[in-house]
Chains A and B, each alone.
Chain A
Amino acid sequence: MRLHLGCGPVYKKGYINVDAFDGSVADEMMSAVRLQFEDNTADVVESYQVLEHLGIAKAIYSLAEIFRVLQPRGMFVLETPDIEVTFERFLKADEEQRRLLMNWIYGIDSPGMLHRLCFPKKLLSRLLRESGFVDLSATHIDASWAQPTLRVTCRKPDTYLVYQTLCETRRNLVDAGVVDLDDQVRVLDQEDLLQKLVSATKQVSESAVSSALRQILLESALTSPRVGLEFVSLAIERGLLGSRESSKIVEVLRLLASLHFPSIMFHMLKEMPIETGSQRQALTTVRAMSEKVVEKLLDDQSRDQAIRNLKTTDEEMELFTSVDPFTETQLKRLADGELARGRKAFANDHIPEAIDIFCEVLKLDRDNLAAVWNLARAERKRGSKEQSMAYYAKAKLLASLSGITTRRRLFSQLKRETESLSRGSEEEFDEPIDRFV
């Protein structure tokens, strides 16, 4: 079987032509991220100018589907805009040429024709390798001057079981609603975890299955036990991670997932002491604590008590934010959302509310300079000079940890504000700060 994915108006004889849009000449309509073909059935898959329409999350899942349906040694050929060459040409081009090149960069604003993300060669190679493809070969071709193209060929290896498991895990995670392909930030965090699990599984020798399983358990427990559980269950089913401890590891992962362990640890992080500049310390501590909890769950003697404690804590936190995966990116994202709310409250002169929200931001991200700086200004506006000075001092400390050019600029701005505060100057810094300029 030969597949032509994203055929659009081009019909290839001898291929099953596939597309997701009605206007195409497809034999079969389906999504690139959910191919309706059996595993290991295609000799060749070709896909021209498709990947750039998907965005990074869906591109990863589409590559996984292509890998899944290909036979071992099956060939995958893809073409996509050569974005690096396109940019080089753009810089040298005149106005009319630039207009043409912009169509190649951004696509066309009509259904299914916009380009969400064009892939630099290195990124594309990495994605293909992380999907399991081997024997990558990339060449540059010019369909026309305004359409520089990257053509990549690669194949599915003979030994493919780990990556096939990864493909199936991804499918199941989407079905279970754990992965939302429209949320790129979460998908990439989940993908990070999956790649760690793949790496641990690939390196494992028969004698070291137990330690690999433990490593997988520890990696998944805090970040996302649901993702870990899905992968490990399939890997055990396929004989990749069979050991005496397998069932115990699966059981612990299932327990952690049902108790919303990442959310519990998220709550822990928020409740931990808030010291300026201590975010790294807080995160490391949470990680170390979660590892100790997992060790207790693996130990038959301490297991029951540990479960009781976790259940009680889980019930107590019913109303708290659910966090899965638990990653630094997700924390920063939540902090950014709160920060925006705080600025809005500040701008509308709801100062006590703004102060409360900025304090919440610091629970999520102790090193958040914007929150500390806004707290300094909000306290100043509330008339609390001492508190304001204390927050300015903290802001200086955080600014000292930034890059040298930025630091100078931040220091000079902070100095101006603190001096004005000490003098009791009329100069007001009574607006929320959103950009450090």
Chain B
Amino acid sequence: MWNMSWMGRVTREFETRKLVIPAEMRVLFQRMLVRDVSQSEKRHMEELGAKVGLTKKETMQAIANYPHPSGLLDVTASRPRIGLLTLLLVLVMVAVAYVITMITSAPASAGPTTTYVPGTRYATISPQDFR
């Protein structure tokens, strides 16, 4: 049974384009994802590294792939990764739609398909073996 008030709230939020992501989840997303270091930032870092005698490679190793707290939704990023978020959401929606379709059109096919070998179920002869 759908909770109608909940549905109503979500609909209103969609209608007004104010989909609210719970704050904790948003922070989690932010912390999980990595913000790319731009080319100009990379060059700048290389120059800094050179001042203490580090090669470009060594400097890049020092800064590579550190989870950035402002990650995905970083308003200051040179290349915001909203595109990636959209792609992920679409993939999740497609997967969910596929499962729902399977369940509603052919419930029996929803589960994993197994190849039945007579006499192997429960390590003994089962009634199926005589059908």
Cα–Cα distance between A103 and B49 once the two chains are bound (Å): 56
Binds B, one of A158-166, A171-179, A184-192, A303-311: A303-311
Interface residues in B, total, Cβ within 8 A: 32
Cα–Cα distance between A271 and B45 once the two chains are bound (Å): 9
Bits for A270-301, please: 1 = Cβ < 8 Å to B, else 0. Answer: 01110111101100110011001100100000
Q: Nearest CB to that of A268 among chain B residues?
A: B48
Query: Are the CB atoms of A272 and B27 closer together than 8 Å?
Result: no
Query: Are the CB atoms of B58 and A292 closer together than 8 Å?
Result: yes
CB of A394 within 8 Å of the partner chain: yes
Query: Are the CB atoms of B62 and A289 closer together than 8 Å?
Result: yes
One of B44, B53, B67, B74 near A276 (C-beta < 8 A): B74
CB of A400 within 8 Å of the partner chain: yes
One of B44, B49, B66, B77 near A284 (C-beta < 8 A): B66
Given that A281-B66, A285-B63, A404-B23 are known contacts, is A397 also in contact with B75, CB under 8 Å in the complex?
Answer: yes
Cα–Cα distance between A416 and B52 once the two chains are bound (Å): 46
CB of B51 within 8 Å of the partner chain: yes
Query: Are the CB atoms of A268 and B54 closer together than 8 Å?
Result: no
Cα–Cα distance between A308 and B53 once the two chains are bound (Å): 8
Cα–Cα distance between A255 and B67 once the two chains are bound (Å): 33
Q: Nearest CB to that of B75 among chain A residues?
A: A393
One of B23, B27, B58, B76 near A394 (C-beta < 8 A): B76
Q: Which of A354-399 contact B (CB under 8 A)?
A: 367, 390, 393-394, 396-397
CB of A102 within 8 Å of the partner chain: no
A137 to chain B minimum Cβ distance, whole angstroms, is 44
Q: Nearest CB to that of A285 among chain B residues?
A: B63
Q: Which of A296-352 contact B (CB under 8 A)?
A: 296, 302, 305-306, 308-310, 312-313
By a CB distance below 8 angstroms, the chain A residues around B51 are 264, 268, 309, 312-313
Query: Are the CB atoms of A288 and B62 closer together than 8 Å?
Result: yes
Q: How big is the A interface, by class?
A: 35 or more
Cα–Cα distance between A292 and B60 once the two chains are bound (Å): 11
By a CB distance below 8 angstroms, the chain A residues around B74 are 275-277, 397
A66 to chain B minimum Cβ distance, whole angstroms, is 42
Cα–Cα distance between A285 and B63 once the two chains are bound (Å): 5
By a CB distance below 8 angstroms, the chain A residues around B52 are 264-265, 268, 289, 293, 306, 309-310, 313
Cα–Cα distance between A401 and B69 once the two chains are bound (Å): 8
Cα–Cα distance between A277 and B69 once the two chains are bound (Å): 6
By a CB distance below 8 angstroms, the chain A residues around B66 are 280-281, 284-285
Query: Are the CB atoms of B26 and A400 closer together than 8 Å?
Result: yes
Bits for A391-433, please: 1 = Cβ < 8 Å to B, else 0. Answer: 0011011001100100100000000000000000000000000
CB-defined A-B contacts under 8 Å, sample of 11? A271-B44, A275-B76, A275-B77, A276-B76, A288-B62, A296-B53, A309-B51, A390-B76, A397-B73, A400-B26, A401-B30
The 9 closest A-B pairs by CB, nearest first: A309-B53, A277-B70, A288-B62, A306-B53, A277-B69, A393-B75, A273-B41, A289-B62, A281-B66
